[in-house]
């Protein structure tokens, strides 16, 4: 066979072609080298299981300053001891059936610190030499995130299923019930199997449709529902009062509604009973004519009842709930005795506080008040926390007393200065009092001796007809007077 000779031009073309391929190869090597050296992932190249090359990211990840520290050592030294045996065959190229392998393993830094990492091991040829290229990614943060997610899921599971509050998860926006906890079953009377994939509307728990509209409207506008009070119909038809709080959450990327339901029926009944008792108590207090005050001795805030204010001529809105409203109206001449009596009670010297004093009314006049109160709670140091008391209007009584005292004084003056003998006796005729003129008429040595006289038995009085007159005017009850 005749050998074909290549022309000069053919040889030149072949040479240029090889030259181009070589340049491309060098360019690729340069690019490859640039990528490896500047990669954020840690990359090393092994020959016969020992380091031949490491990039900067690899040094940073494992805490080394220079590639020379690793040159010629085994990559297995950068693995935690328990992980080495399973990875060694891949590092040494002993797994002939696999050119690459991936591992989630534990790395060992120069300072002895361990951390989670993802390792990709690949076999390849570089310059016709069989090498192992290992790419490592620090997965510590990922593992932390995964662990946190796991813990979060566990916490959610405990919080949901073991909660003392009734909870339900429903789809959004359909509202199909997907899961409930034991407390919800106890509250509603339904088991999950009875209501799963049904809506709250279908199982008819809403007594008032308007409540459901509020609930659905707020969630549709991406607004959480907080403490919506509504009437809840149980499986047995019983209606209870509940508080509903709901918000939209994502589970596996899908929107769901998680709801908390708290039965407040007992609380509402207690509140109603308390309100009824307060109304009865208020009616009783107002009906008695007493003005009630309730003093917080720590803050000097005071509740004054409507009757307390009316007693002084004020409307309910005209008196502020502070101690000063009372203090500034107490008559200046009475204030010292008021606070003295109050202090005696606070100090435990008297069982109750009681004082009669004058209080300024809206019309500018002073009114006599009987003020009574008692400490009902004290702090640990004995200081009063709360004192409750009443005002009683004794103005008319006081004026009558003053008038009586004045009239008594006038009577006594007339009694003592009368030119006639005057005595006061019981209906049985026993003298209890007599003026000086009487003593002189009877020749009595003194009032005490005169008190021994019975007008029905005294001879002189009998002879002069006084006894008969006494009997005729004596009333069945009360004292009688004769002169």
pLDDT digits (tens, 9 = 90+) for 288-333: 778 999 999 999 999 998 899 999 999 999 999 999 999 999 999 9
Check residue 479 and give its pLDDT.
Answer: 47
Check residue 104 and give its pLDDT.
Answer: 87
Q: How many helices (H) and strands (E) does the chain have?
A: 16, 18
- The structure tokens listed for 17 are 């072609």
Half-sphere exposure of 56 (CA within 13 A, CB side): 7
| Alpha carbons 307 and 316: distance in angstroms, whole number | 9
List the single range of 89-98, 155-164, 331-340 with lowest mean pLDDT. 89-98
- The structure tokens listed for 400 are 């009558």
Q: 478 falls in which pLDDT band (50, 70, 90)?
A: very low
Check residue 319 and give its pLDDT.
Answer: 95
477 pLDDT higher than 60:
no
Identical fold for domains 286-398 and 418-482, yes or no, is yes
| Alpha carbons 434 and 455: distance in angstroms, whole number | 12
Q: 483 falls in which pLDDT band (50, 70, 90)?
A: very low
In Å, what is the CA distance from 329 to each residue of 251, 284, 358, 360, 390?
A: 66, 26, 8, 5, 16
For the residues 101-111, what does the mean pLDDT come to? 89
**In terms of pLDDT, which residue wins out, 71 or 184?**
184
338 pLDDT higher than 90:
yes
Q: What percent of the chain has pLDDT over 90?
A: 44
248 pLDDT higher than 90:
yes
Q: 166 falls in which pLDDT band (50, 70, 90)?
A: very high
CATH fold group of domain 286-398: Beta-Lactamase (3.30.450)
| Alpha carbons 357 and 338: distance in angstroms, whole number | 7
Q: 169 falls in which pLDDT band (50, 70, 90)?
A: very high
List the single range of 202-211, 374-383, 395-404 with lowest mean pLDDT. 395-404
Q: 30 falls in which pLDDT band (50, 70, 90)?
A: low
Q: Of 157, 159, 117, nearest to 139 (Cα)?
A: 117
pLDDT tens-digit profile of 177-197?
Answer: 999 999 999 999 999 999 999
Can you tell me whether residue 330 is helix, strand or coil?
strand
For the residues 45-62, what does the mean pLDDT come to? 89
Beta-carbon contacts of residue 382 (< 8 Å; ≥ 6 apart) = none
In Å, what is the CA distance from 317 to each residue of 204, 305, 310, 314, 320?
A: 46, 11, 11, 8, 7
Superfamily of domain 418-482: PAS domain (3.30.450.20)
Check residue 4 and give its pLDDT.
Answer: 55
- Residues β-bridged to residue 131: 124
Check residue 403 and give its pLDDT.
Answer: 84
- Residues β-bridged to residue 148: none
Residue 321 in contact with residue 331, Cβ under 8 Å? no
Check residue 482 and give its pLDDT.
Answer: 41
Domain range list for the chain = 17-142, 159-267, 286-398, 418-482
Q: Is the pTM of this model over 0.75?
A: no
Beta-carbon contacts of residue 365 (< 8 Å; ≥ 6 apart) = none
- Residues β-bridged to residue 30: none
| Alpha carbons 223 and 248: distance in angstroms, whole number | 9
Q: Of 437, 432, 441, 479, nearest to 460 (Cα)?
A: 441
Superfamily of domain 17-142: PAS domain (3.30.450.20)
CATH fold group of domain 159-267: Beta-Lactamase (3.30.450)
Q: 49 falls in which pLDDT band (50, 70, 90)?
A: confident
Half-sphere exposure of 41 (CA within 13 A, CB side): 14
Half-sphere exposure of 124 (CA within 13 A, CB side): 10
């Amino acid at each position: 066979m005749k050998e074909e000779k290549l022309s000069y031009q053919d040889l030149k073309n072949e040479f240029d072609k090889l030259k181009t391929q070589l340049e491309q190869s060098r360019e690729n090597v340069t690019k490859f080298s640039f990528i490896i050296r500047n990669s954020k992932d840690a990359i090393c190249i092994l020959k016969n299981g020992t380091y031949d090359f490491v990039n900067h990211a690899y040094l940073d990840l494992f805490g080394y300053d220079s590639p020379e520290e690793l040159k010629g050592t085994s990559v297995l030294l950068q693995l935690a001891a328990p992980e080495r045996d399973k990875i060694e065959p891949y590092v040494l190229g002993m797994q002939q059936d696999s050119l690459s392998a991936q591992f989630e393993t534990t790395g060992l830094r120069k300072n002895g610190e361990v951390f989670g990492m993802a390792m990709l091991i690949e076999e390849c040829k570089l310059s016709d030499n069989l090498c192992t290229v290992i790419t490592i990614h620090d997965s510590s943060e990922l593992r932390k995130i995964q662990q946190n997610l796991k813990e979060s899921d566990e916490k959610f599971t405990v919080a949901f299923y073991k909660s003392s509050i009734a909870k339900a998860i429903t789809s959004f926006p359909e509202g199909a019930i997907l899961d409930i906890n034991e407390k919800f079953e106890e509250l509603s009377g339904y088991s999950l199997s009875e209501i799963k994939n049904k809506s709250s509307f279908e199982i008819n728990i809403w007594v008032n449709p308007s409540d459901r509209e509020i609930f659905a409207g707020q969630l549709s506008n991406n607004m959480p529902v907080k403490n919506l009070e509504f009437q809840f119909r149980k499986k047995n038809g019983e209606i209870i009062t509940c508080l509903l709080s709901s918000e939209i959450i994502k589970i596996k990327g899908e929107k769901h509604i998680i709801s908390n339901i708290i039965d407040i029926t007992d609380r509402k009944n207690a509140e109603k009973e308390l309100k009824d008792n307060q109304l009865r108590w208020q009616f009783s207090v107002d009906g008695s004519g007493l003005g009630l005050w309730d003093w917080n001795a720590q803050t000097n805030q005071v509740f004054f009842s409507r009757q307390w204010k009316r007693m002084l001529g004020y409307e309910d809105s005209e008196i502020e709930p502070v101690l000063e409203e009372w203090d500034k109206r107490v008559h200046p001449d009475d204030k010292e005795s008021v606070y003295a009596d109050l202090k005696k009670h606070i100090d435990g010297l008297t069982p109750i506080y009681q004082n009669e004093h004058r209080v300024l009314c809206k019309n500018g006049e002073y009114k006599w008040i009987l003020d009574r109160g008692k400490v009902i709670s004290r702090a640990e140091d004995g200081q009063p926390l709360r004192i409750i008391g009443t005002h009683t209007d004794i103005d008319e009584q006081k004026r009558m007393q003053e008038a009586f005292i004045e009239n008594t004084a006038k009577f006594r003056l007339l009694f003592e200065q009368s030119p006639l003998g005057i005595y006061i006796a019981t209906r049985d005729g026993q003298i209890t009092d007599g003026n000086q003129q009487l003593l002189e008429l009877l020749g009595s040595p003194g009032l005490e001796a005169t008190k021994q006289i019975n007008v029905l038995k005294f001879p002189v009085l009998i002879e002069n007809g006084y006894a008969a007159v006494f009997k005729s005017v004596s009333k069945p009850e009360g004292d009688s007077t004769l002169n």
